Structure 1
Amino acid sequence: MLSALLKKNLIVFQLIPVVGYTDLKNKYGKLDDSISNVMMLGCGSMVDLESFLGIDVNSYLDKEFYDSVITPQSSSQIDQTDLKLTRKIYIIDGHRPWNLDNLFGSQLVNCFDDGTAREELEEEKAAYNYLISIEGEEGEPVNEEEKEQAESDIEDLAGSDDDGSENRGSDSEDSGSAHPSESSRKRTSSSSQPSAKKKRTQIKDNERKIEDYYNQGTTVTTSSSLQMYTLLSTIGESNIDYLWLSIIGTTSLNASFGNVYDEIAPLLKEEVNRLQADYSSSNSGSPDTDLGKKADNHSLQIDKEYSLFLLRHWNLYDSFFYSNYVNSKLQLYTTEGKKKLKTMFARMGISLVSACQNWHYLDLDLKRRINSIFTKNLAQLGLTDVIRDGFIRNFGFHGSISAGDFVEAVTALLEYDGDLGSSRKENGRTGTPPDDKEGSAEPEETADKLTRLIAKREAQFISNFWKAYDSLTRFELVIKGISIAKLQQKFIFEKGFEILQKRMIKNLRIFRLVVLKDSFTSNSTITDISINNFAPSRHSALIGSANSAASSALNEKDTVDFHTLGSRQKLFQNPLILTKLGNWILEACAEMDGSPLPLVIASLDIDTGTYLVCGLPPKYPNMKGLDEKLDEKQRRDKTTVLNTFSLAFQEIANSTGAKARIDSFESSIIEIRREDLSVFLERLTLSGLV
């Protein structure tokens, strides 16, 4: 949206993808001094940018302005509350909590907020301003050691006054009178003691408020794309294309932050109805004309969406089977769950032959009745949220696609390295662990190797970013992304089934733990189940053993080598893939035992000898359609997602001395050395920080 607007107005700009905080700092440092505006989209809200980026605000003072207004006769003092700067940094980011230095304490950084900061952070703002004012007072202790020393001095003074009051009184009588300055100093110290104590109490109270705010956990409270659309709307630049992109960004939050999507969706529906009426009138002269009959139809409309995976681009059976929602509700990882799925189709009157038929070729009468069939039969199995309102965009001759399917396609392109069916040399190997000899390399050589490896992965991510970015305006890339998304979903399910069968989930006291070691992460072959094969029986064969692709006597054409980040061994070193698997596990566990425990999932990287560790907040059982009796506050409390792992990971890594790398914008993702993992997890369990 922003790029399109800048191009339209012939404004020169550069779009720079960043992988993490280190990459952000490096690329910011390379910006030309003439750059006057920097916009950070989807990052930057949770870190003090002036400090992190090493910014000296004085270096961005508008010298021409101050040279013209400051004369020898005028004061040389510059008003620090309203500086005129040659550069501004703007943050549009839904991650929370805000770094309060960005929000309240910076002249350089400007934060775009949806209004919650003004409404909900009044106490934090007052506490922040108080602490800043205290730091600015001359002679006021500004760190813990100085404050403790000051408290000790005051206590010593108070103690000496109590113990020697009589002696000082008699001495004073004998000597006639005390020295005037000494007498006044005693009175001052005595009168200032309550005031100093009160100030110390105020400092501690305000520091506690700030700490509580930062320690509450991380989350996402709004959609960055919606914020951008709102900004464009205020200057009269709203249109169907921008609204569609805003819907795509908001829909991407539905999987992990469903409560945020549910709050924003009604606003998007109102905007669709408003703009679509204008679009219909301008294109046909009458808002009632059916634009669906036009071959160049690019309308946006509200239509039924399904909690089924890529239904309009797959078949009924696979869409149900590979749906996270259906999998968790019916427990498809069990024999009983698979029987329920077959029984469900029988009750709906849909034959397995029809269920395995591509959606495009499905009987038209069945398509028309599908919503009523779902509504009548699925609630009996607890599937109360299969049908919901969604958004559909038409792309002329190419056809139409729902927002949810579009998100799956774009995300797949962001996660996937290479083309389908590629046979690059590095992917032809069997993925065996590296020789132990590599571990005997010199430390400097090892460090250089790791640096090159990290740089290679970051370059791959940038390449994937541009593929995903281009797909927003190129429908052929979306179709390719849909094909990749199907394979990725199969991969996630097969690995998830394997984890449950091997009982790799450990229920610790305060969280669940899954550790993926080399034997698990090196296997990247998944089964490509084609429509020509009988899907139900094939699925039954797949779940039979640990290595399903190897043990089910499949033909070579039935398997696909799934790779990401350049090598078969790096499957779970992609945080997006690891997070998807973690969410799949959380949803399954939520329906199994109902206990809302968070999850820590760690995946070994054989090449670097490190674990990628991801902390995910708990998920509650999906109760939509069954929890009407709950009031609004109870429903909000059940769906509010706060991730407390971000602070815990940092503190445990620091306290244990573990070699760790926290570079992701998602602060609950950390890379930690293999030998430090056990100590790290043990301390995390006992810390009480989760």
Structure 2
Amino acid sequence: MLLTPDHFLQAFEDIRRTSMTHSTCKLAIFVACLNVDAICSAKMFSALLKKNLIVFQMIPVVGYNDLKSKFSKLDESISNVIMLGCGSMVDMESFLDIDVNSYLDKEYYESMVTPENSTQLDQTKLKLTRKIYIIDGHRPWNLDNLFGSQMINCFDDGTANEELKQERQAYDYLISIESDEEGGEEGEEDNVEVGSVEMGGEEGEEEDNVEVGGVEVGGAEADNEDEGSDSTESFRKRRSSSDLQESIPKKNKTLIRDNERKIEDYYNQGTTVTTSASLQMYTLLSTIGESNVEYLWLSIVGTTSLNANFSGVYEETVPLLKEEVRRLQSNDDAVQNTAKNNAIDTDMGNKADNKSLQIDTEYSLFLLRHWNLYESFFYSNYVNSKLQLYTTEGKKKLKTMFARMGISFTSACKNWHYLNLDLKKRINTIFAKNLPPLGLTDVIHDGFVRNFGFNGSISAGDFVEAVTALLEFDGDLSLDIAKKAREEGKRTNTPPGEMADSFSDGDANSNNPHDKLNKLISQREEQFIRNFWKAYDALSTFELITKGIVIAQLQQKFIFEKGFEIIQKRMIKNLRIFRLVVLKDSFTSNNTITDISMNNFAPSRHSALVGSTGSASSSALNEKDTIDFQTLGSSQKLFQNPLILTKLGNWILEACSEMDGSPLPLVIASLDKDTGTYLVCGLPPKYPNMKGFDEKIDRKQREDKTTVLNTFSLAFQEIANSTGAKARIDSFESSIIEIRKEDLPLFLERLTLSGLV
């Protein structure tokens, strides 16, 4: 069922009315645990529920299998299930094995039965004891969720009604044909008797796998015996009998094929994210009159988290967020002015507890307000791709740039907090004058900054980097991260936060490879869940954000060093339709990163292959110049985290787009030697950033950004089926797949020749 903003108020009232209890929990919230946007929406919704004294259960989930397992364990008393950041692309009734008839409100229907009304009741609106609500920006929608279920309720920003008119007509036509064909043959066999009243039940087909925009997910393996990736397979299965096919008039067969083709085209166009889940949540809160600065800040953070992979969504949303900031800030200013007239000492209190939110300058520089000018420039993806810092010439450009700006190297090495105040005031003017000739036209843009009292202030972009780093971090946050990282050097002991050896203890006596693999997967998912709670707590704990910033700096260094190594070793293979990078065991086990200390900086170090101890440049490094990434957690598992692998992939894409200008997508695969599998991620192409050069180019680029779709989700499933490869598609990001090591070569060969990308 589709819920537009006009229905949000009524939907929340229904949730509140059916969730209020003094005895048991009636509301469960499932959250995609590796999604900052979903975590922000969960934080907002949980605060609203607490305010309304509603008991709830929050359940982070890693993927579809985890979601199905935990859903099956819900107590029968749960009346409402909220899904944040997941569920929009899957037929939830089929995937979760839901029999709608088992959730009919028997007491309600028994009370409706009278001698005058003993016939079949109207089924246009069923009275159910449980409903599922989906707030998710992933597209395409599963049309069964949107138009074919009364149990599944999908929150939408209002665009689906306009954009899916043809698809809805096709869907309704196919459903009506199915009903007409099966109605005469099945008769009353599918009806369920409630008291003396018969209610028609929905057909419940139990399948281990379910399709995401045409891709089957949720199964442990995908092999050539699967049904395939046809998005309208459910319709075909329902009309598979020869009797039904013969009963269809020829003129209707053409209409059926045309409508099926419309739905197939919709599912096969590829996957993307079209809206922010946290912004939808804020819309819900605003509808019920609960908007405030705290909720708005969380929605800004969630939306900003989409900027790296879905910049078009962020750019379209920024004007709306600016307008809302001005509206709320003007209200706060009026309240503060009234307070000042009534109390003399209000100013000191406001300064100590200043939690204001304002529109301010944002930089395309990595953590500038928490680092220094040089490292912020050097470790910025945007600057790296534009100046090609992975080359000797690019590094020279960076040094020349500071000289032209009149910023001494000493000043560039100072932490932003201790930078000369006069230089800080002039920095925007200096950037605007000197950076465009180098192609850096988008370093300065509008953003959002939040004050945290005496703790200082932080921009939304920096906040996102800190929260994301906590999602990627496997170590112990109780330690002094920066101090420990520098003191331990190349220590090889197992860090406090690292998982124990997967083959010890309980697995030592097990000879079943399948059990070992399941144990390893379980351990990895447990770590992801722990990371979720770190990130969730950080949204309201500035101390955790501070630690997240330190971790983000070190992880960004690690990614850059690995990116430089990939380019210098020429590990990027340009295939016919995409680029390919395969990270093997020798690459992922190299864990050392260079600590570019400003006191002993040597530009030549960046041209060396980090970790290659046989090279003269690396041997010249001092012990304190390197950091063993094991101090930050499970280093050899680092690229088994989809967030880290995606971040490295985006770094490579941006570098390649500026290097040769060809907008090819990327497939990046990372080996996990313990499980003997590759984590494979498919990323859509990135176009060179031409902002500020030409208004026509800017306009065309904005249009291109909104239409770039990820087709790897379809291609991966098709190739896995055709090759018989043992594959696991379990991530909510459907372009991520785990595939057996020995199956990868054939899988990539077929993908190259398929033409599906």
TM-score (norm 2): 0.81
Partner of 2:361: 304
1:214 aligns with 2:267: yes
Question: Offset at 1:388?
Answer: 0.2
Partner of 1:341, secondary structure, is helix
Partner of 1:181: none
- Which structure 2 residues correspond to residues 357-376 of structure 1 after superposition, within 5 A? 357-376=414-433
- Which structure 2 residues correspond to residues 639-654 of structure 1 after superposition, within 5 A? 639-654=706-721
Structure 2: how far apart are the matches of 1:565 and 1:373?
A: 37
Question: Quick one: which of 384, 392, 414 aligns to 2:471?
Answer: 414
- Which structure 2 residues correspond to residues 403-482 of structure 1 after superposition, within 5 A? 403-419=460-476, 420=481, 421=484, 425-427=493-495, 445-482=512-549
1:549–1:559: 8 Å Cα contact kept in structure 2? no
Partner of 2:352, secondary structure, is coil
2:181–2:244: 8 Å Cα contact kept in structure 1? no
The 1:147–1:372 alpha-carbon spacing in structure 2 relative to 1, beyond 3 Å, is same
Question: Offset at 1:287?
Answer: 10
2:269–2:709: 8 Å Cα contact kept in structure 1? yes
Partner of 2:236: 143
Partner of 1:448, secondary structure, is helix
The 1:8–1:498 alpha-carbon spacing in structure 2 relative to 1, beyond 3 Å, is same
- Which structure 2 residues correspond to residues 143-542 of structure 1 after superposition, within 5 A? 143=236, 196-285=249-338, 294-419=351-476, 420=481, 421=484, 425-427=493-495, 445-534=512-601, 537=602, 539-542=603-606
- 1:61-111 CA deviation, whole Å, 9 max, x = no partner? 111100100235423424222100011100000000000000000010000
Structure 2: runs of 5 or more not aligned: 1-43, 186-234, 486-490
Partner of 2:125, secondary structure, is coil
1:416–1:564: 8 Å Cα contact kept in structure 2? no
- 1:6-41 CA deviation, whole Å, 9 max, x = no partner? 111111001110000000001111111111111000
Question: Offset at 1:291?
Answer: 9.8
Question: Offset at 1:633?
Answer: 5.8
Structure 1: how far apart are the matches of 2:596 and 2:349?
A: 34
Question: Quick one: which of 553, 574, 577 aligns to 2:641?
Answer: 574
Q: Relative contact order (C-alpha < 8 Å, sep 6+): which is higher?
A: 2
2:49 counterpart letter in structure 1: L
1:291–1:297: 8 Å Cα contact kept in structure 2? no
1:565–1:571: 8 Å Cα contact kept in structure 2? no
Structure 2: how far apart are the matches of 1:563 and 1:506?
A: 29
Partner of 2:679, secondary structure, is strand
2:684–2:709: 8 Å Cα contact kept in structure 1? yes
- Which structure 2 residues correspond to residues 4-153 of structure 1 after superposition, within 5 A? 4-138=47-181, 143=236
Structure 2: how far apart are the matches of 1:292 and 1:299?
A: 13
Partner of 1:33, secondary structure, is coil
Question: Quick one: which of 610, 624, 632 aligns to 2:677?
Answer: 610
2:436 counterpart letter in structure 1: A
Structure 2: how far apart are the matches of 1:543 and 1:31?
A: 55
Question: Offset at 1:531?
Answer: 3.6
1:427–1:568: 8 Å Cα contact kept in structure 2? no
Structure 1: how far apart are the matches of 2:498 and 2:307?
A: 37
Between 444-453 and 73-82, report the one with greater CA deviation. 73-82
1:542–1:549: 8 Å Cα contact kept in structure 2? no
Structure 2: how far apart are the matches of 1:30 and 1:90?
A: 18
1:547 aligns with 2:634: no
Structure 2: how far apart are the matches of 1:6 and 1:293?
A: 28
- 1:369-426 CA deviation, whole Å, 9 max, x = no partner? 0000000000000000000000000000100000000000000001011133377943
1:91–1:110: 8 Å Cα contact kept in structure 2? yes
1:661 aligns with 2:704: no
Partner of 1:191: none
Structure 2: how far apart are the matches of 1:631 and 1:346?
A: 30
The 1:429–1:607 alpha-carbon spacing in structure 2 relative to 1, beyond 3 Å, is farther
Question: Offset at 1:546?
Answer: 5.0
The 1:620–1:291 alpha-carbon spacing in structure 2 relative to 1, beyond 3 Å, is farther
1:280–1:291: 8 Å Cα contact kept in structure 2? no
Percent identity between matched residues is: 76
1:111 counterpart letter in structure 2: C
The 1:152–1:475 alpha-carbon spacing in structure 2 relative to 1, beyond 3 Å, is closer
Question: Offset at 1:247?
Answer: 0.3
Question: Offset at 1:149?
Answer: 5.2
Question: Offset at 1:559?
Answer: 2.1
- 1:617-675 CA deviation, whole Å, 9 max, x = no partner? 00000111123024846631255320000011111111111100000000000000000
1:569–1:606: 8 Å Cα contact kept in structure 2? no
User: Aligned pairs, how many?
Assistant: 643
- 1:160-216 CA deviation, whole Å, 9 max, x = no partner? xxxxxxxxxxxxxxxxxxxxxxxxxxxxxxxxxxx8221000000000000000000
2:592–2:610: 8 Å Cα contact kept in structure 1? no
2:559 counterpart letter in structure 1: I
1:127–1:207: 8 Å Cα contact kept in structure 2? yes
- 1:485-526 CA deviation, whole Å, 9 max, x = no partner? 000100010000000000000111110000000000111121
Question: Offset at 1:296?
Answer: 2.2
Question: Offset at 1:533?
Answer: 2.6
1:244 counterpart letter in structure 2: W
Structure 2: how far apart are the matches of 1:23 and 1:425?
A: 32
Between 637-646 and 544-553, report the one with greater CA deviation. 544-553
Structure 1: how far apart are the matches of 2:317 and 2:591?
A: 38
Partner of 2:445, secondary structure, is strand
- 1:217-255 CA deviation, whole Å, 9 max, x = no partner? 000000000000010001110000000000000000111
Partner of 2:89, secondary structure, is coil
Larger gyration radius, structure 1 or structure 2 = 1
Question: Offset at 1:442?
Answer: 10
The 1:75–1:450 alpha-carbon spacing in structure 2 relative to 1, beyond 3 Å, is same
2:665–2:683: 8 Å Cα contact kept in structure 1? yes
Question: Quick one: which of 549, 554, 561 aligns to 2:628?
Answer: 561
2:178–2:238: 8 Å Cα contact kept in structure 1? no
The 1:273–1:548 alpha-carbon spacing in structure 2 relative to 1, beyond 3 Å, is farther
Question: Quick one: which of 655, 663, 673 aligns to 1:596?
Answer: 663
Question: Offset at 1:298?
Answer: 1.0
Coordinate RMSD, CA, aligned: 2.8
1:209 counterpart letter in structure 2: K
The 1:215–1:429 alpha-carbon spacing in structure 2 relative to 1, beyond 3 Å, is closer
The 1:547–1:34 alpha-carbon spacing in structure 2 relative to 1, beyond 3 Å, is same
1:616 counterpart letter in structure 2: L
Structure 2: how far apart are the matches of 1:479 and 1:434?
A: 32
1:298–1:394: 8 Å Cα contact kept in structure 2? yes
Structure 1: how far apart are the matches of 2:243 and 2:370?
A: 70
